[in-house]
């Protein structure tokens, strides 16, 4: 790998080769998984290159193509599947400085890939009382390009579904990795080529996203004596079309009491909770509905005292994968699994799986709109013992009809698809003919004969070189 030649070719650009900084910027939240921590702990790039414009991205990709140097794109590194880990070393392409918010109009915003989600919302709220439809729990630190390339849904998915649903991304500008990189404008079906593709088949240089009306969302936490009481309430609330919510998150005891340290004083012992974000104009009707359904309001930001509100994280930082993060800070043996409970039997499946692993798997649901129906994902906490036991839990979920999007695998396919995405593979052949973009993350490219049913973990050969 001729890094000296690359530095000469990129003279004048921002390049970082300090070993410790390069290692730090080569990491994401892969350590949520004890399996990925073991596999990826030693992984590091060789250089960090931070382009400030699309022209500089083109320059980097052309030079790396000529020299055969791998390129792994990075937003702010908040993903947790190892999406941004450079398995073959080379260049980590940090897009953090391409963070301009370029245009805001009714229903849409245009930004650079490095724009932070919370910054986008601050700008769109100030401009025209609009906000992004969906965001992850890492809202305050995640970049929009990283979210599109590595995320799937989040806060707001109860109304709008996932990122790969039509209309949730409007347009992407993407640069290919060829001798003469092309700049492509993708809309409609073509967006599926690069959404949730980990940057394996093109570098996003501009994003156009839809906006919706912005509200000063009210955080409310509702308590229940049983987890299934919380789950049934969450489902019933999600089906109330007249009540505008942005987050509906049932979490089983003792998770709130053990791990939500700043909120724990509001919870009774043994109480399972539902964290909700509700629009201010819907609050009275929401509280009436909650009384009718037998929920006990444990916390209501609209009526809480200044002292009670002081220092509390927002409700979305108790939800999605922040639940796992809060647990890990207290108990390093905790990890998680992401599952789907398919409609229309989702509550029966939730009940069955909740009872299957007492003291080992703790239920955590996120209600979403999925293919037009209300159902739920699980981001269940797991007390980790061995990799074999973790694989057995995955197998039992799947045998019982609950697909697992496995956060203990770093490839696109093993994370949930369990098959080749032919559209993304075909686009990679066009956009990255040498296979230099984020190598090791797309099994179909590395090993077309891989058997997804084998139950074996795919290990990328570049990992052995990296170690």
Query: Could you identify the residue written with the tokens 């980990």?
Result: 198
pLDDT for 455 equals 65
* Residue 213, burial from CB neighbour count under 10 angstroms (0-12, 13-18, 19+): exposed
**Residues across the chain:** 467
CATH for 218-405, options being 3.80.10.10, 3.40.462.40, 3.90.550.10, 3.40.50.720: 3.40.462.40
Does the structure show a pLDDT above 80 at 416? Answer: no
Q: Rounded to an integer, what distance in angstroms lies between the CA atom of residue 290 and that of residue 218?
A: 15
Cα 286 off chain centre by: 28
Q: Which tens digit of pLDDT belongs to each residue from 267-325?
A: 999 999 999 999 999 999 999 999 999 999 999 999 999 999 999 999 999 999 999 99
Query: Could you identify the residue written with the tokens 């969450």?
Result: 234
- If you average pLDDT over residues 126-145, what whole number do you get? 97
Q: Which residues, at least 6 apart from 421, have a Cβ–Cβ distance to it below 8 Å?
A: 197, 412, 413, 444
Q: Rounded to an integer, what distance in angstroms lies between the CA atom of residue 279 and that of residue 201?
A: 39
pLDDT for 82 equals 84
- Are 394 and 140 in contact, with CB atoms under 8 Å apart? no
Q: In the chain, which segments carry CATH 3.30.465.10?
A: 101-214
101-214 maps to CATH 3.90.79.10: no
User: Which H/E stretch holds residue 127?
Assistant: helix 117-128
Phi, psi angles (nearest 5°) of residue 375: -145, -165
Partnered with residue 369 across adjacent β-strands are 374
Q: Which tens digit of pLDDT belongs to each residue from 40-99?
A: 999 999 999 999 999 999 999 999 999 999 999 999 988 887 888 999 999 999 999 999
Closest-CA residue to 439 (of 123, 90, 154, 42):
90
3-94 maps to CATH 3.30.43.10: yes
Task: Supply the DSSP string of 231-254, one letter for each residue.
Answer: HHHHHHHHT-TTS-EEEEEEE-TT
Closest-CA residue to 91 (of 143, 16, 177, 148):
16
> Residue 418: which pLDDT band, with cuts at 50, 70 and 90?
low
Q: In the chain, which segments carry CATH 3.40.462.40?
A: 218-405
Does the structure show a pLDDT above 90 at 229? Answer: yes
DSSP state for residue 453 in the 8-state scheme = G
Supply the pTM of this predicted model: 0.95
- Are 166 and 48 in contact, with CB atoms under 8 Å apart? no
Q: In the chain, which segments carry CATH 3.30.43.10?
A: 3-94
């Amino acid at each position: 790998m001729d890094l000296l030649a690359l530095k000469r070719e990129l003279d004048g650009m921002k390049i970082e080769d300090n070993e410790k900084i390069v290692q730090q910027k080569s990491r994401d939240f892969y350590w949520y998984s004890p399996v990925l921590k073991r596999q990826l702990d030693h992984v590091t790039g060789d250089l960090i290159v931070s382009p400030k414009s699309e022209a500089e991205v083109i320059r980097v990709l052309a030079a790396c193509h000529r020299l055969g140097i791998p390129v792994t794109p990075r937003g702010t590194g908040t993903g947790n599947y190892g999406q941004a880990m450079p398995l073959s070393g080379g260049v980590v392409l940090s897009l953090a400085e391409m963070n301009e918010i370029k245009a805001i109009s009714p229903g849409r915003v245009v930004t650079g890939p490095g724009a932070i989600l919370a910054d986008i919302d601050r700008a769109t709220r100030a401009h025209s009382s609009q906000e992004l439809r969906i965001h992850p729990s890492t809202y305050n630190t995640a970049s929009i390009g990283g979210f599109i390339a590595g995320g799937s849904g989040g806060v707001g998915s109860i109304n709008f579904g996932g990122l790969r649903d039509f209309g949730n991304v409007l347009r992407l500008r993407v640069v290919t990795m060829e001798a003469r990189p092309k700049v492509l404008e993708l809309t409609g079906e073509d967006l599926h080529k690069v959404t949730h593709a980990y940057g394996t088949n093109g570098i996003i240089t501009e994003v156009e996203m839809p906006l919706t009306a912005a509200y000063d969302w009210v955080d409310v936490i509702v308590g229940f004596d049983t987890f299934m009481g919380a789950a049934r309430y969450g489902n019933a609330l999600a089906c109330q079309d007249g009540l505008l919510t942005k987050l509906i998150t049932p979490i089983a005891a003792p998770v709130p009491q053990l791990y939500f340290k700043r909120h724990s004083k509001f919870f009774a012992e043994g109480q399972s909770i539902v964290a909700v974000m509700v629009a201010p104009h819907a609050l009275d009707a929401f509280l009436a509905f909650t009384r009718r359904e037998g929920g006990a309001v444990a916390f209501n930001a609209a009526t809480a005292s200044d002292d009670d509100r002081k220092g509390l994280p927002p409700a979305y930082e108790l939800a999605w994968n922040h639940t796992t993060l809060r647990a890990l800070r207290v108990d390093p043996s905790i990890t998680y699994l992401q599952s789907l409970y398919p409609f229309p039997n989702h509550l029966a499946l939730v009940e069955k799986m909740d009872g299957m692993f007492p003291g080992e798997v703790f239920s955590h649901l996120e209600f979403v709109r999925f293919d037009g129906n209300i159902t739920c994902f699980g981001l269940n906490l797991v007390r980790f013992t061995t990799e074999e036991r973790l694989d057995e839990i995955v197998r039992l979920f799947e045998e019982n009809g609950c697909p697992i999007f496995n956060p203990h695998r770093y490839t696109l396919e093993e994370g949930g698809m369990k098959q080749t995405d032919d559209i993304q593979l075909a686009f990679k052949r066009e956009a990255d003919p040498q296979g230099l973009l984020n190598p090791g993350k797309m099994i179909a490219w590395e090993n077309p004969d891989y058997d997804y049913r084998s139950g074996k973990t795919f290990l990328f050969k570049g990992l052995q070189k990296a170690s």
